[in-house]
Amino acid sequence: MDAFYASVEQLDNPELKGKPLIVGSRPEQRGVVAAASYEARKYGIYSAMPTSRAIKLCPTLIILPVRMSRYSEISKQINIIFYDYTPEIEPISLDEAFLDVTSSIKLFGSAEIIGREIKRRIKEELGLTASVGVAPNKFLAKLASDLHKPDGFVVITEQNKQQILDPLSVSKIWGIGRVTEQLFYARNIRTIEQLRKTPLVMLRDILGNRSEEVLNLAQGIDDREVESLREAKSISTEETFVEDVIDKEFLSTVLLNQVEQVAHRLRAGGLEGKTITLKFRYKDFSTITRSHGLSEFTNTTKVLQQGAEQVFEEWYKKYVSKIRLLGFGVSTLRAEGSGQQLLFSNQEDKKQKKIDEVLDKIRDKYGEDGLRRG
């Protein structure tokens, strides 16, 4: 989706269309930008930027609070459209997903036809624009969806992939951040074509054991399959920040939203899990994960939130440093309610499940913008 949070705000209030706005916290709250409209981006404003800095760049900037339940409501409506064409859907975040339409081509036509139809329906039924990438694998599809934003539609094939890839910056390859990009620049490797033609031994000096993986991506090779909820070994989401972040309040808010997202996906997929994992990627692109085993299988938001907060606090005390990515996931999955059940049910757990059920129903029907978990 294009500038998703900001676009939803402009959809709900047409007077905001064409105006620079951000979704996030106000500067007096030491807030940061959660999302920026394309009008705001023209001023150099981007997500994770301090709101105080954004206002200096654009004094007429409109600041709106985050309405996560409304964005979740729209996200669910988008997914309903997806499911009309394929059950093979791997959600990445509220506004992004991979779809495998291989088995749907005989019914609906080519992948390009399906992509254009989905894009058309999102515009006509929801009033929002999406950028679609059609390609033979996940890396190329993601790349294609980003090339002509906003309102883009790009098809990458086995025949044209190298022609499209070669002129692009090395930073377009997954896993190459600012630090690694500068290491490439120092060796006069700036484009994917230059990277692709670099001897493997030189790449190993820069990338270590990731060199072959990155070289494959530079050739448009990516064998990972779309992992739908039915087949998932884990369900997770992550957010990469445009600017490295260390602010605890901001990161805690992002984490809470991620827990809500993953918990809802577990319940929607009829799944529950027992292991939670937080992922932290530092500014030098080194990555650590921290996991915590729960006492019981669950898909209850509060239980997952408590576990996530515990892991986060331990990380913040021992390993905190500026990060460029935060992720949350749940693994060790099973079908909800399967396995041995407790003889005496936990009344608090029943209460929280009821709260989740009610919130899910309300948000599905109304969006319930003002509703907040206590």
CA-based max dimension of the chain: 66
Active site residues: 96
Cα separation, 242 vs 223, in Å, equals: 27
User: Residues 324, 244: contact at Cβ < 8 Å?
Assistant: yes
Cα separation, 73 vs 260, in Å, equals: 13
Q: Which DSSP symbol is given to 169?
A: B
Sign of CA dihedral 204, 169, 177, 147: negative
Q: How far is CA 54 from CA 43, 204, 246, 248, in A?
A: 8, 39, 18, 20
DSSP letters spanning 134-163: E-SSHHHHHHHHHHT-SS-EEE--TTTHHH
DSSP letters spanning 288-310: EEEEEEEEEEE--HHHHHHHHHH
Cα Rg of the chain (Å, integer): 21
- To which residue do tokens 């994992």 refer? 277
Helix (H) or strand (E) holding 279: strand 271-282
Type of residue at 342: L
